[in-house]
């Protein structure tokens, strides 16, 4: 049986061998806990939920049902990768929910950042609960809770996202197979379970997704500009050795247009902001000094490849006074 709390003397999982030992122990514990009953998991494609999915697939296979909700605020290629890795390669029982219209219709015209977050969080729970209701005989709900989540909730820093606020009539027993692990250990275990590197070493991504990188009311065209510019930034950082070095990097497209010129004609278009920061704990952050030539190359690509964009700005603000995200 895997303990409820991280034992004080537990060795840090720093090698593939230690990861394999944890996996073997956890698979046996999950098989004992779940038996031939059914377990449900909201699979976002982030590191924690992906590792939980891979562990449960190994332990109980088809007794796990994964639900991937595409709320339209994911990065380029993410929903496709979730389907490819989990359904195609790992043969998971995966329900893919295309809820893009539903989320974007609810968010139309909403400018207040906190209201946007609430709508995204609330709608997510509603979509997930609807899918859960369609299924018979689910007894367990799996969650990607990790050890820092538990410590932070005990210290009152943030509420542990326990059961994600599901409606009262939906009572599940929780399955939290990585809850005694630190993030670096979750990654080790994910790698040992055969998850791809770009999933295991994925940078942090906020729950409300690209929604907080589209300041002002979210529109489909601006969202597309965020997604495309983010993909270019990620591609260039990977090609130039910055992907493993910089803690978090992304783009933002505020709801503001300025005058520019394209092909000899006036172009009244948006600007893209690049954010690239380093931090240990996200409480404070410094700005990465991106080499000037690379920055210019990225500006050139974004202004030529992303429709509706005529300028690129680099956010030079550390945290404080800026936060990492813009909303
Ligand atoms: P800020 O903007 O507060 O961000 O400096 C600190 C870190 O937290 C991430 N972040 C979030 N993560 N849900 C999340 O799961 C959220 O609502 C959220 N808001 C910010 C942000 O990406 C950064 O890594």
Nearest-CA residue for ligand 1 atom 12 is 206
* Contacts for 313 with CB less than 8 Å, ≥ 6 apart: 271, 272, 273, 274
Dist. CA 12 → ligand 1 center (Å): 26
* Contacts for 177 with CB less than 8 Å, ≥ 6 apart: 2, 26, 29, 30, 52, 55, 56, 142
Q: Which of 144, 204, 276, 318 is the best mutation target for the ligand 1 pocket, counting ligand atoms within 8 Å of the beta carbon and taking the most?
A: 204
Task: Kindly report, residue by residue over 146-164, the tens digit of the pLDDT.
Answer: 999 999 888 877 666 555 6
Give the pLDDT confidence score for residue 165 in this predicted structure: 77
Residue ranges, comma separated, of all CATH 3.30.300.10 domains in the chain are 209-314
Nearest-CA residue for ligand 1 atom 10 is 206
Whole-prediction pTM: 0.94
Give the pLDDT confidence score for residue 155 in this predicted structure: 85
Dist. CA 325 → ligand 1 center (Å): 6
| Mean pLDDT value across residues 38-61 | 97
Backbone dihedral angles phi then psi of residue 116, each to the nearest 5 degrees: -60, -50
Which CATH architecture best describes the domain 16-200?
3-Layer(aba) Sandwich (3.40)
CATH class name, domain 209-314? alpha beta
The first and second tokens of residue 207, run together, are 């729950």
**Which of 1-15, 18-32, 79-93, 178-192 has the weakest average pLDDT?**
1-15
3-state secondary structure 130-171: HHHHCCCCEEEEECCCCHHHHHHHHCCCCCCCHHHHCCCCCC
Dist. CA 208 → ligand 1 center (Å): 9
Q: Which residues line ligand 1 (CB under 6 A)?
A: 117, 204, 206-208, 248, 282, 319, 323-325
Which atom, in ligand 1's list, is nearest to the CA of 279?
24
Task: Kindly report, residue by residue over 259-287, the tens digit of the pLDDT.
Answer: 999 999 999 999 999 999 999 989 999 99
Dist. CA 118 → ligand 1 center (Å): 14
**Which of 31-35, 148-152, 296-300 has the weakest average pLDDT?**
148-152
Nearest-CA residue for ligand 1 atom 7 is 282
Between strands 248-252 and 265-278, the pairing is antiparallel
């Amino acid at each position: 049986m895997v303990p409820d709390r991280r034992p004080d003397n537990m060795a840090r999982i720093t090698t593939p061998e230690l990861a394999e030992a944890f996996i073997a122990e956890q698979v046996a514990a999950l098989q004992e806990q779940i038996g031939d009953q059914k377990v449900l998991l909201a699979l976002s494609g982030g590191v924690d939920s992906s590792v939980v999915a891979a562990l449960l697939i190994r332990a109980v296979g088809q007794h796990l049902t994964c639900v991937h909700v595409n709320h339209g605020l994911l990065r380029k290629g993410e929903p496709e990768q979730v389907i490819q890795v989990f359904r195609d390669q790992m043969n998971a029982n995966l329900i893919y929910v295309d809820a893009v219209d539903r989320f974007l219709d609810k968010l139309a015209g909403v400018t207040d950042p906190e209201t946007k977050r609430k709508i995204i969080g609330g709608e997510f729970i509603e979509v997930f609960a609807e899918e859960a209701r369609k299924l018979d005989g689910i007894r367990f709900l799996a969650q990607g809770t990790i050890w820092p989540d538990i410590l932070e909730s005990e210290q009152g820093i943030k509420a542990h996202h326990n059961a994600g606020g599901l409606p009262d009539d939906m009572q599940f027993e929780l399955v939290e197979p990585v809850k005694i692990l630190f993030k670096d250990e979750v990654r080790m275990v994910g790698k040992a379970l055969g998850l791809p590197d770009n999933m295991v070493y994925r940078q942090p991504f906020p729950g409300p997704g690209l929604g907080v990188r589209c300041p002002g009311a979210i529109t489909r065209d601006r969202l597309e500009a965020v997604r495309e510019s983010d993909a270019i930034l990620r591609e260039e950082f990977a090609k130039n050795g910055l992907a493993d070095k910089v803690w978090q990097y992304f783009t933002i497209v505020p709801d503001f247009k300025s005058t520019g010129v394209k092909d000899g004609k006036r172009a009244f278009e948006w600007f893209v902001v690049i954010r690239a920061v380093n931090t240990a704990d996200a409480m404070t952050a410094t700005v990465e000094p991106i080499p000037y030539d690379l920055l210019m190359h990225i500006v050139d690509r974004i202004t030529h490849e992303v429709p509706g964009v005529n300028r690129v700005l680099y956010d030079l603000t550390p945290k404080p006074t800026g936060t990492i995200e813009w909303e």
